[in-house]
Amino acid sequence: MIFEQQTDLMGNHFWLPDLSKVITGRLSVPSKLLSNKHSAKSIGESVLRQLDESREQTGGLRLSQSGACVKQLAYQYHHADGNGMQIDAASKIAFVIGDITESILVSALMEGFEQSGLGHLYCAGVDQETVYLNVPIRDGYTAAISGHPDGSMQIMTQNNEAISCILEVKSMSDYGFKKFRKEGLGPKDSYYSQVQSYMASKGYEWTYVVAYSKSAGAKDAEILEDGAWHPVSAVHGQWIPFDQEHVFHIKEKFRSVILSSDPEQIDRPHGPDKKGRLSFPCDYCKYYKTCFPFGEEQAVESKWLNKSTKIKVYTGEQSDK
């Protein structure tokens, strides 16, 4: 079923299309890309952008950081030296792969819309727009925080009503993707904060987040409680309604950073566990050695194995060998 019932935070019901099915439907029928917006040239340009792009420390705040640690934002805003997790060759490769995959998924959705009439995608790819969230500071002064949504859409509901919404494409680890498929995104997830900022900037009521697993395989499967199983797609989506209260807290976070005179004025929202170890997001922060000056890096072997379920083929026959 392509339409599924969604409920906003006011309790209103909407029948919205499952766009992951639109995307996988197009990808399952290989053919030449028809859209000029997402040609081979534009996909190639996304790779060159990563090789060319300089991510210098400007101190500027961005809407993509709406869910980031407030102390991390303060370090950035006050131009602190980054002496933690840095962008290296592995990071660049991950960014390149993410950009290429995003381009392919967006292209598939765009052409799926043309074939199905379920919607229209714009401000995506080479036409990506800049949006601004106005954050009141004090004495009538407002800071405009900028961001770049992956796209905007006009979607047709099952009742043939058109609604405007945001599109976001995310790559996730195996663990993150499994969690996303099982639980979806909630207020504690950084991506949730990001899309809420985009919706507030555009005045939209819905966002569709489509995610893909960076470690997905063609034989991935899921076994249900009754013993039945089904293949698992590498692409999964979720409709997220606008959350005004959450946007208020995002603005307060940005406001506190801008009004601070020193990053150390802001308390750490995260810390080490009982064994003194830092976990995400701290261990991936570019300022963790500043935030925890007595911390030291150690190589530790993990004893935890990530369980996976794969589709295997059994013939019922045994080899003579």
Structure token digits, residue 146: 């900028």
Residue type, position 172, single letter:
M
pLDDT per position as a tens digit, 127-169: 889 999 999 998 889 999 999 999 999 999 998 899 999 999 9
- Average pLDDT, rounded, for the chain: 87
Q: Read off the pLDDT of residues 65-101 as tens digits, 9 standing for 90 and up.
A: 999 999 999 999 999 988 877 777 777 787 778 888 8
Strand blocks (E) in the chain: 3-7, 13-17, 119-122, 131-138, 141-147, 151-156, 162-172, 206-213, 221-223, 229-231, 235-241
Highest mean pLDDT out of 25-29, 187-191, 275-279 = 187-191
Rounded distance between C-alpha atoms, residue 30 and residue 27, angstroms: 6
Highest-pLDDT range among 42-56, 80-94, 282-296, 304-318: 282-296
Q: What is the pLDDT of residues 25-56, one digit of tens each?
A: 888 887 777 666 566 666 677 667 666 665 55
Stretch among 8-12, 240-244, 256-260, 311-315 having the lowest mean pLDDT: 311-315
Please state the pTM of the whole predicted model: 0.89
Helices 244-259 and 190-202: crossing angle, nearest 10°?
Answer: 100
pLDDT of residue 185: 96
| Chain-centroid distance, C-alpha 183 | 15
What is the predicted pLDDT for the residue at 304?
Answer: 58
